[in-house]
């Protein structure tokens, strides 16, 4: 959840008294997490070993060379806990892998959403869970009192229920679930520091895979996809479709109280600010649009072409924690040429996408 949006809600007490108080509490609760990310303190997730499986440098699960060892088919290991309205983790375990639906919407949406994230990374990219080695997928629902956010804390997904005036429960958006889990993968691979351009890229990568999880689950090609992040999290009281639009940054919402989506979609409009760790949620709109334009240009299923390029870039060990847009764009073009060929349509589309937002990957 972008802090600039929570700040607008916190100041809108005459319109949303419940939401304003909830936003203020959420801002206070989120600040330590943002500082930890900015300082580069990453996940504490421990490697989860399985006989017969090893992970290569990209986290891809591959067969170990030892003969006679049965290879486990990657499968999710989900555990959903209930914080029961308090800010305490992990909460009470309410659904484990293979257990039937509980009837609680948040619990069952989180369970299903984690499964969809696992399916994309396992089937499209050969990655067995977040660490590439089958680590459990843990989540906590009903966190806090009307908590207006969802986050990855280094070990688990955590979902608030929203305030009921501006935001609904965050388990309702598959792109939000995919976005937050992708933060865990970034922490274990490129470790992009959560500040300035590297932080905007961190947010961008999460938006990319949040969108791809949703598209994969719905069988949508690039043309049919909405390219929205957080679609459905607003209540009907808000004039808005989602938190962000990858294809058209700045158009996700335009509300009399909350204002207009401030994301830029071109590098000439890059926002320089000390807020939001240097504008990480704002400036992610620039690479977001480059990715979406490349995907639409190529057509078909985005996870099969541009998604592969971005996954390769994230996991191939070419990025440093403080790398910005110039290095990242060049790395994606190199990855496209490596996977698909120097003169390929894929490489041309990636280059054109970056140039359309004012960044030359050459």
Catalytic residue positions, numbered: 180, 281
Q: What is the DSSP string of 126-138?
A: -B-STTSS---EE
CA distances from 190 to 184, 232, 252, 326 (A): 11, 30, 28, 15
Cis previous bond, 90, omega within 30: yes
Nearest to 113, CA basis, from 150, 81, 78: 78
Residue whose token pair is 């388990």? 171
CB 344 within 8 A of CB 352: no
Measured distance CA(78)–CA(117) in Å, rounded = 11
Measured distance CA(161)–CA(254) in Å, rounded = 23
For the chain, where are the E strands, in sequence order?
53-55, 61-63, 78-82, 92-96, 137-141, 150-152, 157-159, 228-229, 244-245, 254-255, 259-260
**Cα 89 from chain centroid (whole Å):** 21
- Cβ contacts of 234 within 8 Å, gap of 6 or more: 166, 167, 168, 240, 241, 242, 253
CB 136 within 8 A of CB 78: yes
């Amino acid at each position: 959840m972008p802090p600039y949006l929570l700040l607008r809600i916190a100041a809108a007490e005459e319109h949303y008294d419940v939401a304003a108080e909830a936003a203020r509490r959420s801002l206070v609760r989120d600040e330590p997490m943002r500082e930890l990310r900015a300082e580069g303190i990453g996940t504490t997730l421990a490697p989860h070993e399985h006989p017969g499986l090893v992970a290569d440098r990209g986290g891809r699960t591959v067969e170990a060379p030892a003969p006679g060892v049965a290879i486990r088919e990657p499968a999710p290991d989900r555990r959903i806990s209930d914080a029961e309205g308090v800010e305490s983790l992990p909460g009470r375990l309410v659904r484990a892998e293979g257990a039937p639906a509980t009837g609680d919407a948040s619990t069952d949406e989180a369970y299903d959403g984690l499964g969809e994230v696992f399916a994309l990374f396992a089937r499209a990219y050969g990655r067995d869970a977040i660490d590439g080695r089958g680590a459990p997928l843990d989540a906590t629902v009903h966190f806090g009192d009307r908590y207006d956010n969802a986050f990855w804390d280094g070990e688990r997904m955590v979902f608030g229920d929203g305030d009921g005036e501006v935001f609904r429960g965050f388990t309702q958006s598959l792109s939000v679930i995919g976005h937050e889990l992708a933060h865990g993968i970034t922490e274990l691979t490129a470790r992009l520091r959560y500040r300035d351009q590297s932080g905007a890229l961190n947010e961008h990568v999460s938006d990319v895979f949040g969108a791809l999880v949703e598209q994969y689950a719905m069988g949508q090609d690039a043309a049919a996809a909405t390219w929205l992040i957080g679609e459905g999290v607003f209540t009907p009281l808000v004039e808005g479709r989602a938190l962000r639009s990858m294809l058209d940054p700045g158009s996700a919402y335009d509300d009399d109280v909350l204002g207009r989506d401030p994301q830029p979609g071109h590098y000439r409009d890059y926002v320089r600010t000390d807020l939001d760790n240097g504008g990480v949620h704002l400036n992610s709109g620039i690479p977001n649009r480059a990715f979406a334009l490349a995907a639409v240009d190529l057509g078909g299923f985005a996870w099969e072409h541009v998604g592969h390029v971005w996954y390769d870039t994230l996991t191939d060990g070419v990025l440093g924690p403080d790398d910005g847009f110039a290095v990242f764009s060049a790395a994606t073009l190199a990855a496209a040429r490596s996977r698909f060929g120097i003169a390929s349509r894929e490489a041309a589309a990636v280059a054109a996408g970056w140039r359309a937002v004012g960044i030359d990957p050459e």
